[in-house]
Structure 1
Amino acid sequence: MKQLVLDLGAAEPAQSLDTFQIGANAEMAHLMHQFAQRASREHFCYLWGETGAGKTHILQGLAATRGSRYIPADADPDAFVHAPGVTLYLVDDIDQLTPERQIDAFALYNQVREHGTYMVCAGPLPPAVLPVREDLRTRMGWGLVYQIHDLSDDEKIAALTQAAEARGLTLSASVLPYLLSHFKRDMRSLSTMLDALDHYSLETQRPVTLPLLRDLLHQGNQHTESKE
């Protein structure tokens, strides 16, 4: 349990479109299911939003579909080459591409158009202000563009409560509001903490109450300080 407590977020669970918390993103989520089925009239989409909004979650969920290729910012040049059998290309953190990979991404976009395949890219900013070369920035705005809106606090609490119930985990009423005020606020980090609370509760044979959460957060803070 020590390792889990001290390395919160180190283990990334498999992502899927079905586990994405939709919130105010219903239209975008519907479109992504169309992309998963290669049924969208539009063949290109650019997603943008703050860190933790769920951009990588969506791209990795799409990557689980057959004929898809997930391309992180640090991918090899070969990843940007259009290939037989790949019908959906997913370029993450496009703002972090090197100048060379930006050229590759621009070329891949053109190949996707030529072959009639699909492409979804993601970044933190709308296309007009992306810090990339002009031709690539222009291409990001040619297709559909969606901002991914973060969940409200009430939506996050509802989603985490549902996830806890699915685990058979009972939370005291003060746990989740306190967690939102004293921990990272993106759903990936919050879900990871929920897993840690579940394991820590089992290890210590204590219910998931505010004192248990404080103990867990304290251990994490101590570990962070020891590494600095």
Structure 2
Amino acid sequence: MSRQLLLEIIPAQGPTLAATVMGANAAAISAVTGLERGRALYLWGPPGSGRSHLLRAIAGSRSTLLLGAGTSASAMMALATNPTLEKAAEVIAVDDIQELDEPQQAAVFALYNRWRELASTAAAFALVVTGDRAPLSMSLREDLRTRLGWDLVFRLEPLSDTDKSEALVTYAKQQGLPLSSDVLDWMLTHYSRDIRQLFALIDALDRYSLSKHRTITVPLVRLMLADREFLQS
């Protein structure tokens, strides 16, 4: 319960491309960082591989419209047919395409067609889509599935424990928060494998250590997770 409360009440800050740990995904992150108008990018991988993280990082650095299952099909189609689409955003991103229903898929199909139509013009935009499988393995309408492979395609791999440690140390340093190796080891061994929850834990520890005027140690981490008054404050 404490872990879930922590994730809901103290979400991790927005990711950035500069602070993203590459792990085995150097080529994909390089493609994301250097993405130009007129290019399309499909990123796929299992849960926890950083698909949504990269989209949020793009949105934090460039003019981006982020679409997903929570976006209505009518809104998506209105965007695809907007005569001044290039003024809406530099990048249009669609997260977790496998979760879209048939009308939403039809709208993304229209977005791909519009992307190709404008790709070599001054009105070009970049299109980034994520999913949980390779294009040909997706359970989507056939004409949309083939379009996922029209340009760049990269598989994302989850971070190793070493990569997660590096990501956590980098994130903590950004907050001006030193983390000892024993705290890092405890977090990875006893708390969560989900990097999003681990980032949220660091944010919470920053607040808690300041409120208690104590250095961050493993006992302090345990004390905080047992402190329901703090988690619900």
Inter-CA distance 84–142: structure 2 relative to 1 (3 Å threshold): closer
CA RMSD of aligned residues (A): 2.6
Q: Counterparts of 1:55-94 in structure 2 under 5 Å?
A: 55-76=51-72, 77-80=74-77, 81-82=79-80, 83-85=85-87, 86-94=89-97
**2:39 counterpart of 1:43:** yes
Q: How many residues align?
A: 216
Counterpart mapping for 1:1-228 below 5 A? 6-10=5-9, 11-35=11-35, 37-38=36-37, 43-76=39-72, 77-80=74-77, 81-82=79-80, 83-85=85-87, 86-116=89-119, 117=124, 118-219=126-227
- Work out whether residues 4 and 196 of structure 1, in 8 Å CA contact, stay in contact via their aligned partners in 2: no
- Structure 1 Cα separation of the partners of residues 47 and 193 of structure 2: 10
Q: Relative contact order: is structure 1 or structure 2 higher (C-alpha 8 Å, sep ≥ 6)? A: 2
Identify the range of structure 1 (121-130 vs 60-69) with the bigger mean alpha-carbon deviation.
Answer: 60-69
Deviations 1:55-112 (A, max 9, x none): 1121122224554321122112223423241342110010111111011111111111
Distance in 2 (alpha carbons) for counterparts of 1:96 and 1:162 = 32
Deviation of 1:32 (Å): 0.9
- Normalised to the residue count of structure 1, the TM-score between the two structures is 0.83
Identity of aligned residues (%): 36
Secondary structure, in 3 states, of the residue corresponding to 2:29? helix
Q: Can you give the 5+ residue segments of structure 1 that lack an aligned partner in the other structure? A: none
Please state whether the residue corresponding to 1:149 is helix, strand or coil: coil
Q: CA deviation at 1:50?
A: 2.2
Q: What CA distance in whole angstroms lies between the structure 1 residues aligned with 2:179 and 2:12?
A: 23
Q: 1:173 to 1:65 in 2, by over 3 A?
A: closer
Q: Could you tell me which runs of 5 or more consecutive residues in structure 2 were left unpaired when the two chains were aligned.
A: none
